[in-house]
Amino acid sequence: MFKRKVYDQLLDWKENYSEKYAVLLEGARRVGKSTIAENFAQNEYESYIIVDFANITDDLMSVFDDIADLDMFFLRLQAETGVTLKRGNSVIVFDEIQLAPKVRQAIKYLVKDGRYSYIETGSLITLKKNVKDIVIPSEEFKIEVYPMDYEEFLWACGKDKYSMLEQLNGLNKPIGNATNRSLMRDFRVYMAVGGMPQAVEAYIAGKNFVEIDFVKREIINLYKDDFRKIDSSGRISAIFDAIPAQLAAKRNRFILSSATGKRTTRKDEELLYELISSKTVMICYNTTNPTIALSQTKDYDTFKLYLSDIGLFTTMLFNHESEVYSTIYSKLLSDKLDADLGYLYENAVAQIIRANGRELYYHTWKPENKSHNYEIDFLIASKMKIVPIEVKSSNINNHKSIEAFSEKYSSMVSRRIMFSQKDVGNKEMLELKPIYLAPVIISEL
C-alpha cells in the first residue's frame, strides 16, 4: 500500500464529518480509490465490510433489495459477509457504487441511522450515467482522487527528496549542474512511469520500461472500453487519442473537428464533457480577461486538453512498436529525444496544478501590430494577484509572451515563472525554475 495524501483527507472526514456524511472517493479508473478505501477501513475502524458491486454474488446483492428495515438489512449483511459490525466503530465500503445507483440513493437513510460510517468509491464516466433516475444524496462528502503526484511517487520509491526540494526552493540560488541533472533525471523517471499505482508498482518491482508501458497501455485500453460503453461511435476515444497530437501541433486551442474528422455537432460537445467528467483528462480554459477572476472570464469554446496522468501521456505520445520502447524511454531519461517536447513538460505542470486542487487556465491574445498570437501556458490566481507560468523543454531564451503579458497586466502580476530543465536563475523579473521544483512552488502559491 502506497502512502497517499488522500488518507489525511479521510482522517479529517472521519473526525469531523462522518456522523452526517458518507464520503465519496471519486476519480478516474485505476487511480487507487478502492485500495485507499480498504486500507483506511482496516487501519481506522474496529471492523469493516467491503461490498464490491463489480464483483458481487447474487446472495449478497439480494441483501440490498430491501433496505427499508435497517435492523434486518444489517443482520443479513453481517450474515452474508461473516463480519460483525461494531456500532460507532465500523465502516461499510461500497466499492464501484456507480453500478448500484439504488444503494447510493439509500445513503441518506443509512447515514441518518447513525450506526456506522460509509465510504463510497466511484468511477465517474459511469457514475454520472447511472443517477438520472435516483435522488442524489446530499449526505455525501466528496474527495477527488488523482494519480500519484511527484511527492507520493518519491515516497513510493523510498526517496526522501521532497523535503530537500523544499529547502532548495527556499534558498532560491543556483543548484549546480551536476545536482540539477540528477534531480532532473529523477523527475523524468516520474514522467516516464507516471502516477497510476499499477505502473508505479511495476517500476518499484524492477520491471523494465517495456513491461511498465504494457501496464499503462492496459489502463488506456480500459478507459477506451469505458468510453465505448457510453459512445459506440468511437468519438470519445477519438477525442482522447487526439490530445497528444494537438498539443504537439502547438495550437492555441483544442479543435474538436480535427479530432473526430467531422464538423462539430452538439452531440460532440456533449461527448467532450462526458470525457472531462471521467477525470481521465484535464481541461484548461482560455480566460479572456485576466484582470477579473479567472473563472468568470473563461471561454467555454476555447480550451486545451491534457491527460490526467503524465505517464499515460508519455505512452500515448510515443506510440511505437514494443521493441523500440526501451530506446524511447532511454532517450527520455537522458534528455536525448530529438523532438521539442515542451508539451510533454506542459502536461506534467498541468497535472501538478490540478493535484493542488486548482482549475487550469491559460491566456492567448494578439497584440496590435503583430502577425501572431502570444500565449501564456498557465495562469494561477494567488493572493489577489496573477502568476503567469511558461513551460519550456530547453529553449529558455524565448520569453516574449510572458514579458508582454507582465507589461500589459503589470498591476495584476505578482510573480512570473518559467519552468524548464535549466537550473535556478533570473532574467530580470522572470524567475527561472527547474521543473522538479514545480510541485513545491505551485503548492505555495
* Per-residue pLDDT tens digits for 2-47: 999 999 999 999 999 999 999 999 999 999 999 999 999 999 999 9
12's grid cell: 479529517
- pLDDT confidence of residue 127: 47
Q: Does the structure show a pLDDT above 60 at 256?
A: yes
User: The dihedral of CA 13, 308, 175, 385: what is its sign?
Assistant: negative
Percentage of the chain surpassing pLDDT 90? 78
Alpha carbons 16 and 18: distance in angstroms, whole number? 6
Scan for cell 488518507, then name that residue.
7
Q: Does the structure show a pLDDT above 70 at 323?
A: no
Q: Does the structure show a pLDDT above 70 at 414?
A: yes
- Reported as a single tens digit per residue, the pLDDT across 189-209 is 999 999 999 999 999 999 998
Distance of CA 193 to the CA centre of its chain: 15
| 3 state DSSP class of 262 | coil
Alpha carbons 125 and 130: distance in angstroms, whole number? 9
- The class of domain 6-144 in CATH terms is alpha beta
Mean pLDDT of 404-416: 95
Residue type, 444: E
Question: Which of 163, 164, 335, 305 lies closest to 240 in space, CA to CA?
Answer: 305
Q: List strands edge to edge, sheet with 430-434.
A: 378-382, 385-391, 416-420, 430-434, 425-427
Q: Does the structure show a pLDDT above 50 at 444?
A: yes
Scan for cell 477527488, then name that residue.
144
Scan for cell 512570473, then name that residue.
416
- Length of the chain equals 445
Mean pLDDT of 330-348: 80
Q: Interior CA angle at 41 toward 110 and 48, to 5°?
A: 60
Q: Which residues of 80-147 form beta strands (DSSP E)? A: 90-95, 117-123, 140-144
Output helix, strand, coil percentages for the chain, rounded to the nearest 5.
50, 20, 35
DSSP class of 374: E
Q: Does the structure show a pLDDT above 80 at 131?
A: no
Q: Which band of pLDDT confidence, cut at 50, 70 and 90, is reported for residue 333?
A: confident
Q: Which band of pLDDT confidence, cut at 50, 70 and 90, is reported for residue 347?
A: very high
335's grid cell: 534528455
DSSP class of 322: G
Q: Does the structure show a pLDDT above 90 at 387?
A: yes
- Domain spans, the chain: 6-144, 150-444
DSSP class of 362: E
- pLDDT confidence of residue 160: 82
Helices 325-333 and 177-193: crossing angle in degrees, nearest 10, is 150
- Reported as a single tens digit per residue, the pLDDT across 142-172 is 999 999 999 999 999 998 889 999 999 999 9
Query: What's the mean pLDDT when you consider all of the chain?
Result: 92
- Reported as a single tens digit per residue, the pLDDT across 240-250 is 999 999 998 88
Mean pLDDT of 221-239: 92
Q: Does the structure show a pLDDT above 70 at 407?
A: yes
The neighbouring-strand residues paired with 386 are: 381, 413
- pLDDT confidence of residue 177: 95
Contact criterion met (CB below 8 Å) for 22 and 137: yes
DSSP class of 63: G
| 3 state DSSP class of 414 | coil
Mean pLDDT of 381-397: 90
Report CA-CA distances (Å) from 318 to 176, 214, 299, 436. Answer: 31, 13, 31, 22
Contact criterion met (CB below 8 Å) for 44 and 88: no
Mean pLDDT of 312-339: 72
Mean pLDDT of 276-303: 94
- Reported as a single tens digit per residue, the pLDDT across 39-81 is 999 999 999 999 999 999 999 999 999 999 999 999 999 999 9
Q: Does the structure show a pLDDT above 90 at 438?
A: yes
379's grid cell: 495562469
DSSP per-residue string spanning 330-345 = HHHHTT--SS--HHHH
Contact criterion met (CB below 8 Å) for 65 and 185: no
Q: What φ, ψ does residue 367 adopt, rounded to 5°?
A: -70, 155
Least confident of 55-59, 390-394, 395-399: 395-399
Of residues 103 and 324, more confidence is placed in: 103
Secondary structure tally for the chain: helices H, strands E: 20, 14
